[in-house]
Amino acid sequence: MKAPSRARKRRDTRRRVWLDELVPANGDLASTKQLVQRLAGEGARLVVTSTDGSTNRQEVEVAHEALIRYWPRLLKWLDENRINLQLRETIRQAALDWEKQRKDENYLVHRGARLEDAQVLAKNTSFLNQSESYYVTACKELRDRHKNEKEARRRREIRTAWGVAGGAVVAFIVSLGFWIEALYEKEKAQKSQVEALKSQAEALSRYSLSLLDDNQDLDALVKAIKAANILKQENASQPFVMEALQKVVYGVRELNILTGHQEKVKSVIFSPNAQTLASASDDNTVKLWNVKDGKKLYTFQGHEKAVTSVVFSPDGQTLASASDDNTVKLWNVKDGKELHTFQGHKKAVTSVAFSPDGQTLASASDDNTVKLWNAKNGKKLHTLIGHEKAVTSVVFSPDGQTLASASDDNTARLWDVQDGKEMHTFKGNQRKFNIAVFSPDSKTLAFADDTTVKVWDVKNGNELHTLIGHEKAVTSVVFSPDGQTLATASDDNTARLWNVKDGKQRETFTKHQDNVKSVIFSPDGKTLVSTSDDKTVKLWDLNGKELLTFKGGEFGFNSVVFSHNSQTLATASDDKTVKLWDLKGKELLTFKAHEKKLISVVFSPDGETLATASDDNTAKLWDLKGNERQTFTGHNGRVTSIVFSPDGKTLATASNDKTAKLWDLNGNKRQTFTGHNGRVTSIVFSPDGQTLATASDDKTAKLWDLKGNERQTFTGHNGRVTSIVFSPDGQTLATASDDKTAKLWDLNGNELQTFTAHKKKLTSAVFSPDGKTLATASDDTTAKLWALNGNELYTFEGHHNVVIDVVFSPDGKTLATASYDRTIKLWDVKDRKEGQTLTGHKSSLASVVFSPDSKTLASASYNNTIILWDLDQLALDPLLNSACNWARNYLAYNHDISKDDKYLCDRIGTTQ
């Protein structure tokens, strides 16, 4: 069936769901299960089923993405129901959150226009499942209850007014009330319109994150831009939309999608200057692309069958292509014209290679021969005869003196380029050879032999090593740029590194779920890329750590190649596309600190330096580029807390070794404070810098002068004291404790106030810069704002795990909370609303702090990572600018982009 043109413009994708998620609101599990079995059975096979081993729940998935892309009836339904499907996704996510939070009504987030839309959708029983329907009903019941309570209040107020004043006065009041009610209804309608648009933006954002998770990065970016544009046009705020935009902007790796081929793309290669890219396809063509913007430069037409291999000449001026039509063609890169056709092979040409000087072409063929050609005039130089079966690959030695060929006849052969004579034959044991590769110095040859790799001396033909370790056939072999290491790929689902000198295995890469079919080194030799039948490409460091994974959807990847600067990957796929991937993306300023967990981070008073405390018993100083400036050693346990003196000249640290220490910035210890009977958990300077306060597991806090003399002990908590802080005027102390309370104290040790409302232990406490309020963080996943008389002012809810730290910005406008859920949330102190969620850490947060100018946030996580967040760049306009600057070329030159989307970023960001 020929795909409709609109099918090529969509990027809908399948998703695995639980069977019980498919039970409609008025349906039952048995009927649904019976229907799924019919759809999965012989003669249908529209869906596939499986059982999750960890939960024993049955899963259902669309059998092939081709159904989503090419079934006209389904395509029409998707188009007609696009908005409903996006709305249903927001309901699905909200219902899951509601269930997860034990049906807490605070998680009934569909209200106003969003709820009205959800109710309309719920009337169509085919859209919502039972759980989602229950959720919508609960939202409606909550709305009705609030409406009834409001109406009851209004009636009470009217009755009260009639009882207090005369009839005329009351009539005026009632009339005025109706006028106010009319204004209120008008404002309500306007707000409903805005809420509906915000709901649409949220649906787009959820869809965007789903696409990002599936590595459809550019399509995710487009959806995020659309959502952000809604906020911008309405001058509205929506924390989830901002969170999604930030995730996509800093998570996108897909640089461009090059479309135009009509069949599978088999091979892709960068030009020597990395400015152009060539792709070979089963559609009988080669295409040349501008790498910078993705614009197609030329289509080379002339082959009569599929193009199997393509290669640039060393000077980048010409391109050679091999084809199943038994020919090799040479093309002029500058004007796209054919220069020569090399005819002589009697069967398909499988591989083509230029000599290092660009003067000679070698071609391998299914006709069992290799041919050498003059690349300038197209004349045949030699026919290399000796193989008894198809020759699968051919490669020149880096010095250009020899040629290696691999064949299905279970041999690799070495040939003299000058006279075409065979120099050596290397025989395998069991299987055909599909690849042979030279070391960079031309002295060594390696090729795969079933489950092993043979390494041979080129000069004398002697075997140097047999690399044994793979359990199934080796599919790919490559030398590192320095020639010291070999990488191999295998059908045993692994890639491996080997030491060339002694043949010993160095590392095994084990994250693939299916055959690994190729492996390549980056030109700088620092990373490795593997391609697998599990439809992924993985990027690794040479210690076996997985750095990135790119998903290929239903079609996977056929070919992958690095750019010469090692920063970009190009992939070719059966989906008829070439994709460019940026391996760095838009990076947050991130650096690794310490050998063990980070516990605390703090800015110096001048904002130029960071200090960190760690599980490795040390503290360190860093500049803001991540360069280590000083290490402080002397504690015999975890350093739990660190703080600069107000003048920035000294540091104080607290430790699990039951002591606190004072240091100069050169790492010299000036004083040790001993007296606590348990681990010291927190330390702080008084605003005048003359006093230190400490908190401890021994349930006490203490005051000290800088000579180490204990001045006061504060007792009253019933659990370990986790945090201590001075008020801005230095007259009061606040402590937080495992006993679920915070307390205020005067400096004489008298308890002034106790704050009780948290449901679990407290982790942190901090005064607002004006000293009028206190904020606390807790294991109960919330932060709270308090008046100093003990009254709770507000509870900040939104985190899904322990809130480990809370801090005010120095200007007092923003509160930041850090959580074990790996996020930081920024809250508007005045409006008490969530402003933004910052995502980027890969582990639980440990600490967060503002720079003195409130423009930068530093966060530390338990995987030894510090991120510096430029808050100005995380606002809506800068993020939207970044998104558009990244997507601009894709929007401009991709043939599958809709007309409306092409202009999505006009007047946004920097014009390129």
**Is the separation of the CB atoms in 495 and 501 below 8 Å?**
no
pLDDT at 176: 55
With beta carbons less than 8 A apart as the criterion, state whether 822 and 787 touch.
no
Positions of the chain with pLDDT under 70: 1-15, 25-26, 42-45, 53-55, 63-71, 74, 77, 80, 124-126, 154-191, 429-434, 911-912
Asked whether the beta carbons of 910 and 886 are under 8 A apart, the reply is no
Residue 578 is encoded by which pair of tokens?
Answer: 């070439």
Euclidean distance between CA atoms 319 and 316, whole angstroms: 7
CA atoms of 126 and 81, how far apart (whole Å) = 12
How much is the pLDDT for 190? Answer: 62
Rounded Cα distance, 537 and 780, in Å = 40
Strand pairing of 762-767 and 751-756? unpaired
Condensed to tens digits (0 to 9), the pLDDT of residues 561-595 reads 999 898 999 999 988 999 999 988 887 888 888 88
* CA contacts within 13 A on the Cβ side of 341: 12
pLDDT in tens, 455-481: 988 888 888 999 999 999 899 999 999
Place of tokens 């404002």: 187
SS3 state at 42: coil
Rg of the Cα trace of the chain?
34
Residue 264 identity: K
Q: How far apart are CA 571 and CA 531, in angstroms?
A: 10
Q: List Cβ neighbours of 771 (8 Å cut-off, separation of 6 or more).
A: 727, 728, 729, 732
The sign of the CA dihedral 472, 477, 481, 485 is positive
pLDDT of residue 167: 47
Classified as helix, coil or strand, 32 is helix
Whole-number pLDDT of residue 370: 96
Transcribe 626-641 into DSSP letters.
S-EEEEEE--SS-EEE
**How many Cβ atoms are within 10 Å of 746's Cβ, its own excluded?**
13
Residue from 887, 880, 885 nearest 901 by CA: 887
CB 71 within 8 A of CB 64: no
Closest CA to 598 of 814, 792, 806, 867: 867
Say if CB 432 and CB 407 are below 8 A apart. yes
Asked whether 580 and 596 are in contact (CB, 8 A), the reply is no
Q: How far apart are the first and last CA of the chain?
A: 40
Residue 156 neighbours by CB under 8 Å, 6+ apart: none
Select from 244, 253, 257, 243 the least CA-distant residue to 295.
Answer: 257
Tell me, what's the pLDDT at 768? 96
Chain CA centroid to CA 768, Å: 34
Please classify residue 250 by burial: count the beta carbons closer than 10 Å to its beta carbon, then call 0-12 exposed, 13-18 middle and 19+ buried: middle
Q: How many CA atoms lie within 13 A of 593 on its CB side?
A: 37
